[in-house]
Amino acid sequence: MQMNSASTKKSTINDAFASKFAKSMFLTVLGIAILMFIGTRMFTHIDLNLYGYMVGTIVFLGGFFYRFIAWGERPPTKIILKKGLKLVFSKRTAKTAVSHLAIYDFIKKRGFYRWMQHVLIGWGCILACLVTFPLVFSWMYFTMDDNGYYTVVVMGMDLLQIKADGIIAWFSYNALNISAIMVIAGVCMALYRRAKNMQARAEQKFIYDLMPLYLLLFISITGLLLTIQNVFLHGWMQPQMSLIHQFSVILTLIYLPFGKLAHIPFRPMSVLARNYREHYGEQKMKACKVCGDHFVSVEQSNDVINVLGVNHIEFNMEDGFNLAELCLPCRRKYRISRFSGVPTHQVKVKEANQNARG
């Protein structure tokens, strides 16, 4: 009976793949190939000059899935993803997405300068991606008619005709130049801040903090040089500069999932985390066992304790509570009291920098 039940067990799509990584890569590449088949009118409109970018993007997707799946398998991340996805269609999602992904409102609390630098870099990169990836995979391309009009083809369909010397065509030609100028300005602001801010200078590392900025700067400058060479130098050294620019983009795409820039594709997950905190925070808040302040939702507090248990980390104190049931200031003072023997956690004095901005 056991053998029969085992043999009749329903198979799923997961059984066809060796791992989640393999399934994610296969389905993504298959989806891109299908969209390319449709967008290029059965592969009849492919720009081989963009082949290197295509290969770099596929390698980037492999690194991204590897990093994302490894991150998503962690017990705390599983909880946020599972409960956050259930709330993705809630009313607060649109507002949170605009705040976190569009206007970077959470960074504005750290100062206007840092907010502006993130807006320039963030939207410069987004604009570049919105232009580059449809062109790379031929989901969008242009055909030229004899009447002086371009036909914009999107997913294999003629979308509209634009005048070759019109305003729409001008913005189409210069979209990448505009994005490059935005990124250069934002990166220069970031480098200036890192050179002048003492805390940043003390904490930063070249490989992790500065190299990603230099890569973005190099990509943007070489991209602008292509236009300068074409317009002002009649194409002098443009093939060589095109290869340099392409190589820098591919190198950055391969590096992106494994360095500081990985927070760019991971950023949408912050919407799920924010929904999780706000939704359960509206239901019931947890009071600190020492000072009584409500510092986190009961759901999140229980999830933290459960995750610590899964990782075989126990913070059950002799006083009858878990360390995760204390707010951050009381938790810090309680740990000090354990080493010093002085019950500092019972002193109801808040830290001066508890609500500091920055």
Would you state the structure tokens that stand for residue 109, as one six-digit string?
């609390």
Residues 317 and 174 in one domain: no
Q: What percent of the chain has pLDDT over 90?
A: 28
- Mean pLDDT (whole number) for 78-88: 89
H or E segment and range at residue 131: helix 112-136
* Bigger pLDDT: 88 vs 179: 179
Q: How confident is the model at residue 175 (pLDDT cuts 50, 70, 90)?
A: very high
Residue ending a domain, among 270, 304, 327, is: 270
Cβ atoms of 129 and 307 within 8 Å: the answer is no
Residue ending a domain, among 270, 296, 312, is: 270
Residues 213 and 312 in one domain: no
Phi, psi dihedral angles at 3 (to 5 degrees)? -65, -40
Residues 212 and 104 in one domain: yes
- Mean pLDDT (whole number) for 163-177: 88
* Terminal-residue alpha carbon distance, the chain: 64
Residues 240 and 322 in one domain: no
Lowest-confidence region among 71-80, 217-226, 316-325, 348-357: 348-357
With respect to residue 97, please indicate whether it lies within any of the assigned structural domains.
yes
Q: How confident is the model at residue 227 (pLDDT cuts 50, 70, 90)?
A: very high
Residues 36 and 105 in one domain: yes
Residues 108 and 219 in one domain: yes
Phi, psi dihedral angles at 64 (to 5 degrees)? -65, -45
Give the per-residue pLDDT at 200. 82
Measured from the Cβ of residue 159, the count of other Cβ atoms closer than 10 Å reads: 11
Residues 194 and 334 in one domain: no
With respect to residue 11, please indicate whether it lies within any of the assigned structural domains.
no
| Tally of domains within the chain | 2
Give the per-residue pLDDT at 342. 66
Alpha-carbon distance of 87 to 81, in angstroms, equals 10
Q: How confident is the model at residue 185 (pLDDT cuts 50, 70, 90)?
A: very high
Measured CA angle at 19 (ends 58, 24), to 5 deg: 35
* Residue among 356, 358, 300 nearest 327 (CA): 300
With respect to residue 65, please indicate whether it lies within any of the assigned structural domains.
yes
User: Does the structure show a pLDDT above 70 at 283?
Assistant: yes
Mean pLDDT of the chain: 85
- Mean pLDDT (whole number) for 245-256: 93
With respect to residue 157, please indicate whether it lies within any of the assigned structural domains.
no
Residues 100 and 125 in one domain: yes
H or E segment and range at residue 294: strand 294-297
Give the per-residue pLDDT at 12. 78
- Mean pLDDT (whole number) for 268-295: 88
* Residue among 210, 235, 273 nearest 81 (CA): 273
Residues 208 and 293 in one domain: no
Most confident listed range (107-111, 202-206, 211-215, 277-281): 211-215
Residues 120 and 218 in one domain: yes
Alpha-carbon distance of 100 to 344, in angstroms, equals 38
Query: How does pLDDT run across 308-349, given as a tens digit for each residue?
Result: 887 777 777 777 778 888 888 888 877 777 777 666 655 555
Cα pseudo-dihedral 46, 50, 55, 60, rounded to 10? -120
User: Does the structure show a pLDDT above 80 at 89?
Assistant: yes
User: Does the structure show a pLDDT above 90 at 226?
Assistant: yes
Residues 109 and 252 in one domain: yes
197 Ramachandran zone, left/alpha/beta (phi>0; psi -120 to 50): beta
With respect to residue 289, please indicate whether it lies within any of the assigned structural domains.
yes
With respect to residue 106, please indicate whether it lies within any of the assigned structural domains.
yes
- Mean pLDDT (whole number) for 170-178: 91
Lowest-confidence region among 183-187, 196-200, 275-279: 196-200
Most confident listed range (18-27, 43-52, 70-79, 182-191): 182-191
Measured from the Cβ of residue 313, the count of other Cβ atoms closer than 10 Å reads: 9
Phi, psi dihedral angles at 18 (to 5 degrees)? -75, -25
With respect to residue 14, please indicate whether it lies within any of the assigned structural domains.
no
Determine the structural domain holding residue 107 and report its residue range: 19-137+166-270
User: Does the structure show a pLDDT above 60 at 358?
Assistant: no
Give the per-residue pLDDT at 354. 46
With respect to residue 88, please indicate whether it lies within any of the assigned structural domains.
yes
Residues 266 and 289 in one domain: no
Helix 75-86 and helix 51-72, axial crossing angle in degrees, nearest 10: 100
Task: Tell me the CA distances in angstroms from 170 to 101, 154, 166, one per residue in order.
Answer: 28, 18, 6
- CATH number of residue 236's parent domain: 1.20.950
Write the secondary structure of 237-290 as one string of H (helix), E (strand) and C (coil). Answer: CHHHHHHHHHHHHHHHHHHHHHCHHHHHHHCCHHHHHHHHHHHHHHHCEEECCC
